[in-house]
């Protein structure tokens, strides 16, 4: 199997793209340390997949918590070969700039951008002595090409894209390959909530129905994640956009 024996840390594993990715990489033979804050769903998923997975509660915006959990996950796995960082939030959709609160801005930046930095930082510390590893961060077309419904979300994902490029440059000499994936409109709880929130504000039923019917299956992004985690993706660098 393509990922047989790979030791993977996966954040945001309890739902959406993270859940689909957990199922995909486990099916391809990987052992998976799954991190999330949705404990009920995370535990259920770990139990459903079986012994090759284990779940940890992890607030990615808290450095002490990230350091502790990454250490425990690395000990359980016996090292870390791959980081698939999917955890994120989408708050502040369709709020005009004068009404956009500092609290919403800070929460989104802390989880999406600071969280990506902290997880990458502590996973890199495990990978560096072995001079090999793979990191895949989750950006967004909204942060690379524009068009976000939220000032904070688009800014945070643009930051994740920039972080991935800097990490690739700085970690490549240490044998660590870094990519970022920019998913399109995917049928996840995060995206569906944003679409419904937009409808509550605009009451544009045609746009609501059109957007909902266009949402793609998260399993497609999971397939991209699994490929990037594999040795077959050794020559792949940069940002990968999905539908």
Residue 212's pLDDT is what? Answer: 78
Q: Is the dihedral of CA 150, 108, 90, 216 positive or negative?
A: positive
Share of the chain above pLDDT 70, in %: 100
Residue 243's pLDDT is what? Answer: 67
pLDDT at 187 over 80: no
Residues in the chain: 243
> Taking the CB of residue 4, how many other CB atoms lie within 10 A of it?
10
Mean pLDDT (the chain, rounded): 94
Strand 238-241 versus strand 82-85 pairing type = unpaired
Residue 200's pLDDT is what? Answer: 79
Q: Could you read off the pLDDT of 6-19 as tens digits, one per residue?
A: 999 999 999 999 99
What pTM did the predictor assign? 0.94
- Extract the tokens encoding 11: 């954040």
Distance CA 134, CA 197 (A): 36
Catalytic residue among 55, 153, 199, 235: 153
What lies within 8 Å, CB to CB, of 125 at 6+ separation is none
Q: Which of 24-28, 48-52, 149-153, 210-214 has the least mean pLDDT?
A: 210-214
31-36 sheet: strands from edge to edge: 53-57, 31-36, 7-11, 82-85, 133-138, 176-182, 238-241
Mark whether 199 is an active-site residue: no
The radius of gyration of the chain's CA atoms, rounded to the nearest angstrom, is: 17
Distance CA 193, CA 198 (A): 9
Highest mean pLDDT: which of 167-171, 191-195, 197-201?
Answer: 167-171
Ordered domains of the chain (ranges, CATH): 7-241 (3.40.50.720)
């Amino acid at each position: 199997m393509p990922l047989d024996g790979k030791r993977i840390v996966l954040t945001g594993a309890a739902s959406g793209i993270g859940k689909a990715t957990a199922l995909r990489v486990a099916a391809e033979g990987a052992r998976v340390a799954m991190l999330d804050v949705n404990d009920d769903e995370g535990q259920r998923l770990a139990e459903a997949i079986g012994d090759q997975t284990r779940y940890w509660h992890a607030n990615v915006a808290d450095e002490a918590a990230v350091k502790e959990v990454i250490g425990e996950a690395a000990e359980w796995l016996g090292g870390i070969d791959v980081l698939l960082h999917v955890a994120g939030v989408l708050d502040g959709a369709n709020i005009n700039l004068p009404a956009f609160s500092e609290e919403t801005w800070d929460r989104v930046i802390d989880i999406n951008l600071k969280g990506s930095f902290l997880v990458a930082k502590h996973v890199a510390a495990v990978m560096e002595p072995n001079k090999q590893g793979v990191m895949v961060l989750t950006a967004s077309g909204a942060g690379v090409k524009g068009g976000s419904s939220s000032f904070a979300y688009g800014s945070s994902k643009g930051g994740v894209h920039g972080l991935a490029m800097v990490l690739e440059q700085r970690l490549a000499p240490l044998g660590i390959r870094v990519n970022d994936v920019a998913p399109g409109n995917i049928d996840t709880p995060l995206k569906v909530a944003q679409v419904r929130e937009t409808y509550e504000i605009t009451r544009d039923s045609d746009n609501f129905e059109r957007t909902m019917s266009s949402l793609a299956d998260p399993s497609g992004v999971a397939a991209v994640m699994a490929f990037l985690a594999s040795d077959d993706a050794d020559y792949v660098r940069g940002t990968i956009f999905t539908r």
